[in-house]
């Protein structure tokens, strides 16, 4: 990352230097134009054209990038003040650069690690704006002035599940991960949204038989075949915890043999009882 940053910085400097050189040449031609005009000498059209053209190109290429950087720095400072000024000092972590953070970090005495580090991770929040709520609790500030806000995802267990807007989100306390997994996989009440390929909007179901849904999920994972075809006519059931921290989907399709479902790429024919329950969600 540092290498690419150096290449970008070098390219930026070269562009600006060439732009300023072109601007200087344009200014020199402008001066020659002005002197000849004052002496009432004829000014060649070519000189006028090049004077104007080089001045414009020089301003755009030499001054433009510098102005853009200045505006970005000013904007960054304003955002910093508006987003971080109200945070206590012990909630702000100062780092040299992004590489010092990566996919794990310490925050207020707790070691956090990306949930994606764990195999078969299920802590994958569904960022539905109606239920996905966060609270600002801190920030990372880097030496280059950039910063990331640390947001806590509101959740049933009131654990610090953190969202930084990064590819490694969410981050969880390392010693809490397995407790979180057990709760959301086996205990958390579930809601459901149903989508049919012919429907314009999803149907929302706020209360489902969570134990039944989990039993169907586990059956598919344990007995389903991988990479089996679902056919062309299928729909989706989106299941999620009340706080949106846990989310998974089940595909379904009617076939000549009965209702087929898929979870996590595991596909199986459902029992008549399980199929009856899934169909009840589709009405």
User: How high is the pLDDT of residue 99?
Assistant: 76
**pLDDT beyond 80 at 139:** yes
User: How high is the pLDDT of residue 252?
Assistant: 93
How confident is the model over 100-107, as a mean pLDDT? 85
**pLDDT beyond 90 at 109:** yes
Mean pLDDT in the chain?
86
Q: What is the token pair recorded at 46?
A: 């070519």
User: How high is the pLDDT of residue 199?
Assistant: 57
d(CA 208, CA 215): 13
Residue 204 CB neighbours (<10 A): 11
Beta strand extents in the chain (DSSP E only): 92-95, 104-107, 110-114, 134-142, 147-153, 162-163, 171-173, 190-196, 203-205, 225-226, 235-241, 247-255, 258-263, 266-269
pLDDT in tens, 144-165: 778 889 999 999 999 999 999 8
d(CA 239, CA 252): 13
How confident is the model over 193-207, as a mean pLDDT? 73
**pLDDT beyond 90 at 188:** yes
Write the CB contacts of 85 (distance below 8 Å, at least 6 apart in sequence): none
Lowest mean pLDDT among 94-98, 234-238, 252-256: 94-98
Greater model confidence, 143 or 130: 143
3-state secondary structure of 122: coil
Reference 266, options 214, 232, 217; nearest CA is 217
pTM over 0.85: no
């Amino acid at each position: 990352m540092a290498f690419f940053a150096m290449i970008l910085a070098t390219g930026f400097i070269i562009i600006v230097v060439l732009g300023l050189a072109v601007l200087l040449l344009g200014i020199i031609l402008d001066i020659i134009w002005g002197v000849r005009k004052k002496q009432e000498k004829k000014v060649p059209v070519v000189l006028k054209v090049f004077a104007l053209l080089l001045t414009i190109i020089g301003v755009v290429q030499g001054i433009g990038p510098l102005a853009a950087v200045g505006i970005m720095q000013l904007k960054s400072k304003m955002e910093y003040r508006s987003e971080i000024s109200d945070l206590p000092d012990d909630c702000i972590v100062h780092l040299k650069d992004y590489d010092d953070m990566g996919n794990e970090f310490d925050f207020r005495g707790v070691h956090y690690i990306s949930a994606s580090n764990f195999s078969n991770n299920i802590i994958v929040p569904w960022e539905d704006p109606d239920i996905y709520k966060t609270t600002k609790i801190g920030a990372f500030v880097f030496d280059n002035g950039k910063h990331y806000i640390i947001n806590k995802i509101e959740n049933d267990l009131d654990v610090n599940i953190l969202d930084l807007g990064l590819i490694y989100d969410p981050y969880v306390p390392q010693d809490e991960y397995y407790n979180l997994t057990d709760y959301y996989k086996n205990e958390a009440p579930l809601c459901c949204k149903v989508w049919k390929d012919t429907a314009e909007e999803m149907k929302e179901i706020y209360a489902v038989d969570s134990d039944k849904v989990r039993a169907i999920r586990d059956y598919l994972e344990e007995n389903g075949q991988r990479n089996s075809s679902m056919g062309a006519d299928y729909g989706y059931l989106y299941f999620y915890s009340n706080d949106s921290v846990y989310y998974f989907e089940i595909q379904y399709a009617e076939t000549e043999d009965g209702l087929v479902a898929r979870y996590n790429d595991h596909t199986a024919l459902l029992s008549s009882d399980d199929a009856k329950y899934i169909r009840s969600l589709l009405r």
